Amino acid sequence: MDYTDDENIGLKVLLGELDAEPMRMVSQSMPEYLEVSVGRLFITWSRKVDRDIAAGLGAPLPCRDLGRFEDWMQRWVLKTDVFLRQYQYELVEIIDWLLLAGAARHSWLENVDERNRPRKLMKCHSVQMLYNESVKCLRGRQPRRRSSIDLTEADERHLADIGAGYAVVELLTADALDVESARMRHCIGQGNYDAKLGTPGFRFFSIRDSSGQPRATVEATPKLVSGQFVSVIRQLRGPRNMLPEPHVVELFTAALDDILTDVTPMAAQARRPSFG
């Protein structure tokens, strides 16, 4: 699938919104994997949107005026926003799957076509197909540890008391993630997020009540802001991936400045693989 110059602008906007470059700290080829999977499907989706608009089947997007670059960008920013909102849940799972596969060097990544693109990604012709592949990998893994593990200070550390008896604990090891996963009944454990542990900018927190019971789990990831990487909240999940209780979210949000105090170093520049 070849792209026009206009569509290449759209790809850059999408990858920027996904914070693809900081993901190289976990998997060096991550931006390229995103481009040939999510990016390719984004352009396919965009072309269908344009066809529907031309046929009178959809509301028009802002028009380009005399080919001005700013108008191109505005149009792609709007398209990207619509796409990410439409597939926000699926994309979280897909990105986590690709990060895990890249960091763990899953063998299917070596099965590439003549343009060095993983065939497993290229065979997916919809976001749903990519999502189904991620589910088979992430949710098909068997738990390696049980919640009865006696965790130590090497596994988790108290960060802050945030009021009303709640505290924030940072999860530092694979054991800590597995225990949190078992207690909260979500997928942070079982090896799915282990590759991010110890990588600058990627952090995991558990919000605990006065009895020590986890009430929400938080993932922070690096984002490039004004030439520097800073940690931002990517996910905030309650039990079984449900929304946390509002008062828990409010307490955590109010304490964010105290919690996200670590400075994330710039990702090391590495040779980027060639994708056709």
pLDDT tens figures, 9-54: 999 999 998 889 888 988 899 999 999 999 999 999 999 998 988 8
pLDDT at 7: 94
Domain range holding 133?
Answer: 5-138
Q: Do residues 167 and 236 share a domain? A: yes
In a domain, 267, yes or no: no
pLDDT over threshold 80, residue 141: no
Domain boundary among 90, 107, 138: 138
C-alpha span between 193 and 190 (Å, rounded): 8
In a domain, 143, yes or no: no
Give strand pairing partners of 170: 157, 205
Please tell me which residue, 72 or 165, carries the higher pLDDT value: 165
Q: Do residues 89 and 166 share a domain? A: no
Q: Do residues 243 and 125 share a domain? A: no
Q: Do residues 128 and 10 share a domain? A: yes
C-alpha span between 118 and 55 (Å, rounded): 35
pLDDT at 187: 79
Q: Do residues 15 and 121 share a domain? A: yes
At 83, the pLDDT band (50, 70, 90 cuts) reads very high
pLDDT in tens, 179-196: 888 788 787 877 778 888
Q: Do residues 206 and 179 share a domain? A: yes
Give buried/exposed letters for 126-164 (b at 16+ CB in 10 A, else e). ebeebbebbeebbeeeeeebeeeeebeeebbeebbebee
pLDDT over threshold 90, residue 63: no
pLDDT over threshold 50, residue 268: no
Q: By the 8 A CB rule, do 168 and 206 touch?
A: yes
In a domain, 270, yes or no: no
Q: Do residues 44 and 126 share a domain? A: yes
pLDDT in tens, 100-129: 899 889 999 999 999 999 999 999 999 999
pTM, two decimal places:
0.64
Residues 6+ apart with CB under 8 A from 83: 14, 42, 45, 46
Q: By the 8 A CB rule, do 195 and 206 touch?
A: no
Q: Do residues 168 and 238 share a domain? A: yes
Mean residue pLDDT across the chain = 84
Q: Do residues 184 and 245 share a domain? A: yes
In a domain, 148, yes or no: no
pLDDT over threshold 90, residue 70: no
Q: By the 8 A CB rule, do 153 and 172 touch?
A: no
Count of alpha carbons within 13 Å of 33, Cβ hemisphere only?
28
In a domain, 200, yes or no: yes
Q: What are the C-alpha distances in Å from 171 to residues 20, 178, 204?
A: 24, 10, 5
In a domain, 236, yes or no: yes
pLDDT in tens, 224-237: 888 787 888 999 99
Q: How many independent structural domains does the chain possess?
A: 2
Q: Do residues 128 and 49 share a domain? A: yes
In a domain, 269, yes or no: no
C-alpha span between 252 and 216 (Å, rounded): 10
Q: Do residues 69 and 163 share a domain? A: no
At 140, the pLDDT band (50, 70, 90 cuts) reads low
pLDDT at 274: 39
Q: What percent of the chain has pLDDT over 70?
A: 85
pLDDT at 184: 85
In a domain, 268, yes or no: no
pLDDT over threshold 90, residue 69: no
Q: Do residues 166 and 254 share a domain? A: yes
